[in-house]
A and B are shown apart, each in its own frame.
Chain A
Amino acid sequence: MSVGEIRVEINSDQDIVIARQKGRVMAGELGFSSGDATLIATAISELARNIVSYARTGQIKLKGIHGSSRSGILVIASDDGPGIIDIRQALRDGFSTSGSLGLGLPGVRRLMDEFEINSQPGKGTMVAVKKWRQ
Chain B
Amino acid sequence: MEVPILKQGAFLIATFQAALSDADLNQLRMGLVQQVVKFRSRAVIVDVTAMDVMDSFASRTLREIAHMIRLRGAETVIVGIQPEVAFAMVQLGLTLEGVATALDLEEGLAYLNERFRITK
Contact = CB atoms under 8 A, between A and B. Distances in A.
Interface of A: 13-14, 16-17, 20-21, 24, 34-35, 38-39, 41-42, 45-46, 49, 93, 100-101, 103-104, 106-108, 110-111
A29 to B, nearest CB: 16
A17 B20 CA distance: 7
27 contacts: A13-B21, A14-B21, A14-B23, A17-B21, A21-B19, A24-B52, A35-B87, A38-B52, A38-B85, A39-B84, A39-B87, A41-B52, A41-B53, A42-B55, A42-B89, A42-B92, A46-B55, A93-B93, A100-B60, A101-B94, A103-B94, A107-B93, A107-B94, A108-B92, A110-B92, A111-B88, A111-B92
Contacts of B56: 46, 49, 100-101, 103-104, 107
A14 B26 CA distance: 13
A103 B19 contact: no
Given A35-B87, A38-B84, A38-B88, A20 B53 contact: yes
> Main SS of chain A's interface residues?
helix
Give the one of A24, A39, A42, A104 with max B CB within 10 A. Answer: A42
B79 to A, nearest CB: 18
Interface of B: 19-23, 52-57, 60, 82-85, 87-89, 91-94
Chain B at the A interface: SS class: helix
A17 B19 CA distance: 6
Nearest to B86: A38
Per CB-CB distance, the 9 closest pairs between chain A and chain B, nearest first, are: A107-B92, A13-B22, A45-B55, A38-B84, A42-B88, A35-B84, A101-B56, A103-B93, A13-B21
- Most chain A CB within a 10 A radius of its CB, from B21, B82, B94: B21
B94 A39 contact: no
B51 to A, nearest CB: 10
